[in-house]
Structure 1
Amino acid sequence: MGSLLWIAAPLVFVSSVYDGALSTVAARAPDIWRRPGFHWLMDLIVASSHTARSIWSRTLPAALSLTRLAVWSRARLASHRLSRIMTVSLIPVLLALAEVVAPFSATSAEAAAQAQRTWASPVPAMEILEAFDPPTEAWLKGHRGIDVLTVSGEPVRAPAAGTIRFRGSVAGTATISIETDSGYVISFQPAESVLKTGEAFSAGAEIGTVAEGGHCDQSCLHVGVWKSEGVKKYIDPAGFFGQEESILLPLSRKPEKEHTGDSTTSGAGAWGGHRNGRIPAAAMCSLMSAPGQMLRCDAQTAFDRMSHAYAARFSTPISVTDAYRDYDTQVILKRRKGRMAATPGTSNHGWALAMDLGGGINSFGSAEHQWMRANAPKFGWIHPSWARQSGSLPEPWHWEFYGHE
């Protein structure tokens, strides 16, 4: 019995402190509610207090007689009054704690925002055919996602880690919907999957294939995004992939030649005795800031360092559309893009030393692109002369690892 009293006493006091804390703080220091970290701190206090109350309410009646309970009730009233006095004196401490906690809560929110711009592309070399154009009212006609150029049968990869939410037919169109661990739903049409509802996967994992059908004049994949909780409201998917605008080139523009690693203007080329597009995964490393994307390990290390420096300037890591492309992916792109794609087995991406970037870098003249032009060479990355604005095949998004830092 004595040990239970020793347990109950501090729990009673904690519960009493909570009773008076919020109202007292609100009256004496209203500005504290504007501190970003204070709400997180109060959530922690509330959770702790509720736990204490629960234990106290279950333990105390069983441990004490009615007489002792009356004594403890009077003690509780006294502690309640004392708690108000202590809370007022603790306001400076709470303010200081709020300032300490604020950076962590802000960092979490910022990290969530950054994650939205670093999703892996569902298909390689993602090119937007039709942009997001939502209706002004839910019942009106509009384009509630983006259409991405594809060919039937090519793999669809998970932009982020999550689970299968739905697979089947919607209005006669094969559909896959996934729910990401970060709380978003992504739908793909037309697309088929052999995965089961609820099955988990990692970012970049193959979750299905592009099916026949759809609403595009040419083969495409429609991608829609909305939050998994609350009222369903469609969000522009392009920003999640760092493509606020389409990078689709007119098909009438034929490159003067297919650039390979043999050119002195290119950073990519053969290494390690490997063949283009047939480099084993064990010989490459995954990008920390772009799940599912791989490069040669020294290129990966240099890129992640560069992405960290970029994030210090733009508050988000570099958005990667494409890095290494294996031979099968090169075949798919040749089918999809025709003369605009390199012959399979010759792509610079097949050496794991080239990448396509988004998030503003894919636009000549943007602040992001200018930052890359000025800083990428410091990390061993270059924008090949043929890909520059005055080059034979302007591609602001294409960058290669030259290896000289």
Structure 2
Amino acid sequence: MKVITSALSAAVSVAIASVFAALIAVGGPHSAYAQNTDGAEVDAAHRWLTPVPGLQIVRAFDKPAQNWNAGHRGIDVAAAVGESIRSPAAGTVRFVGKVAGKPVISLEVGGYAVSFEPVAGTVRKGDQVAAGQVIGTVADTSHCADGCVHVGVWKADRAKDYVNPAGFFVSDASILLPEAQAPDRLPAAAQGTSVGKSGAGAWGGYSNGRIPTVALCPLRSAPGHRLRCDAAKGFDALSAAFAQRFGHPISVTDSYRDYQTQVTLKARKGKWAATPGRSNHGWALAVDLGSGINSFGTAQHKWMKANASRFGWVHPPWAQPSGSLPEPWHWEFRAG
């Protein structure tokens, strides 16, 4: 198994410690744009794990002008019957039961209530849940003919006044901070023919999607996600440097996908998903990203192109604009 060099490891530790300390000192990773957004929502934005991998919103938020008017007070996320629904962050189960005949789960997460329906719960009211923990499964197709989960969000300490859940899970919104606030020292840029090559591949004798949890490490900057430990350490340092430049950590939409998740995604997305056992995400060395990185030509994507390799991360040739399957959001770890 490849390991990060000692120089990169030292840089990683310094970068993570200094950046997260700086973010706390100025009021959190989103304080730079707090003047435009409610404080609690700013703190939650960009940080929730999606309820299912490969998030696809099939019906958007459409809040009516008056509560009694028709509208859509949440988002519908594509999900197959029987698919697991995961907690977006650490929180407490508020409700498990039926509303108007449909199974519903609601959690309290960071001052917000978030509900999922139709979802048959595997947790109980009052349970503490961690980011990424399975809380239930999609019960039926009563909400969407093709299968989906309706997600609603409102402030937990107020009467229901729904807000758009989409911004809590992923966001393209970033601001450019002054150069003076960028990290004082970044690791040296990668050199040689390895730059830009695909990083995902077999390691440790494991099969794709069948890597034991004990062999992986959580991302500090993206709770609920796991990667091979050297990749996780490099990504956290990369995200910390990104936060100094743009005001918040990198939002991660997908990381390691176990075999069963690959099977579920193939069933839901068809030709748009990799054949189970062949996904680049099955090696725990690949991530799909938001935060503006998921569009070619943005300041965030350009920053990644210039700096990701310093932390062991590359944008593989097939995912680049001239590649066989352009995906600006897909990045892979390649140490050494």
TM-score range, shorter chain: 0.7 to 0.9
In 2, the alpha carbon distance for the partners of 1:290 and 1:364 equals: 22
Map Cα deviations across residues 159-200 of structure 1 (whole Å, 9 max, x no partner). Answer: 0111111112222222111111x1111111111103211111
- Residue number in structure 2 paired with 1:188: 116
TM-score where L is the length of structure 1: 0.66
Q: SS of the residue aligned with 2:27?
A: helix
Map Cα deviations across residues 23-76 of structure 1 (whole Å, 9 max, x no partner). Answer: xxxxxxxxxxxxxxxxxxxxxxxxxxxxxxxxxxxxxxxxxxxxxxxxxxxxxx
CA deviation after TM superposition for structure 1 residue 142, in Å:
1.4
In 2, the alpha carbon distance for the partners of 1:109 and 1:375 equals: 22
Give the alignment partner of residue 242 of structure 1, picking from 165, 170, 187. Answer: 170
CA deviation after TM superposition for structure 1 residue 298, in Å:
0.7
Q: 1:104 to 1:312 in 2, by over 3 A?
A: closer
Q: Please tell me whether residue 303 in structure 1 is matched to residue 232 in structure 2.
A: no
Map Cα deviations across residues 224-263 of structure 1 (whole Å, 9 max, x no partner). Answer: 1111012322111111112459xxxxxxxxxxxxxxxxxx
Structure 1 contact 265–386 (Cα < 8 Å) conserved: no
Structure 2 contact 118–150 (Cα < 8 Å) conserved: yes
Q: SS of the residue aligned with 1:300?
A: helix
In 2, the alpha carbon distance for the partners of 1:300 and 1:108 equals: 19
- Residue number in structure 1 paired with 2:27: 106
Q: Please tell me whether residue 391 in structure 1 is matched to residue 323 in structure 2.
A: yes
Structure 1 moving runs of 4+ over 4 Å: none
In structure 1, stretches of 5+ residues that fail to align are 1-102, 246-263
Letter aligned with residue 154 of structure 1: E
Query: 1:6-405 residue pairs with structure 2 within 5 A?
Result: 104=25, 106-107=27-28, 110=31, 113-180=42-109, 182-243=110-171, 265-404=197-336
Structure 2 contact 143–149 (Cα < 8 Å) conserved: no
The structure number with the bigger radius of gyration is 1
Q: SS of the residue aligned with 1:235?
A: coil
Q: As a proportion of its length, which structure holds more helix?
A: 1
CA RMSD of superposed structures (Å) = 2.0
In 2, the alpha carbon distance for the partners of 1:368 and 1:244 equals: 9
CA deviation after TM superposition for structure 1 residue 115, in Å:
3.9
In 1, the alpha carbon distance for the partners of 2:29 and 2:220 equals: 18
Letter aligned with residue 236 of structure 1: N
Structure 1 contact 381–399 (Cα < 8 Å) conserved: yes
Structure 1 contact 114–316 (Cα < 8 Å) conserved: no
Map Cα deviations across residues 279-310 of structure 1 (whole Å, 9 max, x no partner). Answer: 11111110001111110111111100000000
Structure 1 contact 187–224 (Cα < 8 Å) conserved: yes
Letter aligned with residue 300 of structure 1: A
Q: SS of the residue aligned with 1:289?
A: coil
In structure 2, stretches of 5+ residues that fail to align are 1-23, 32-38, 174-195
Q: SS of the residue aligned with 1:355?
A: strand
Percent identity over paired residues: 58
Structure 1 contact 154–210 (Cα < 8 Å) conserved: yes
In 2, the alpha carbon distance for the partners of 1:205 and 1:211 equals: 18
Structure 1 contact 242–360 (Cα < 8 Å) conserved: no
In 1, the alpha carbon distance for the partners of 2:312 and 2:30 equals: 32
Q: 1:351 to 1:107 in 2, by over 3 A?
A: closer
In 2, the alpha carbon distance for the partners of 1:129 and 1:349 equals: 24
CA deviation after TM superposition for structure 1 residue 338, in Å:
1.0
Structure 2 contact 63–71 (Cα < 8 Å) conserved: yes
Structure 1 contact 179–228 (Cα < 8 Å) conserved: yes
Q: 1:357 to 1:114 in 2, by over 3 A?
A: farther
In 2, the alpha carbon distance for the partners of 1:108 and 1:302 equals: 19
- Residue number in structure 2 paired with 1:57: none
Q: SS of the residue aligned with 1:234?
A: coil
Q: SS of the residue aligned with 1:125?
A: coil
In 2, the alpha carbon distance for the partners of 1:305 and 1:285 equals: 14
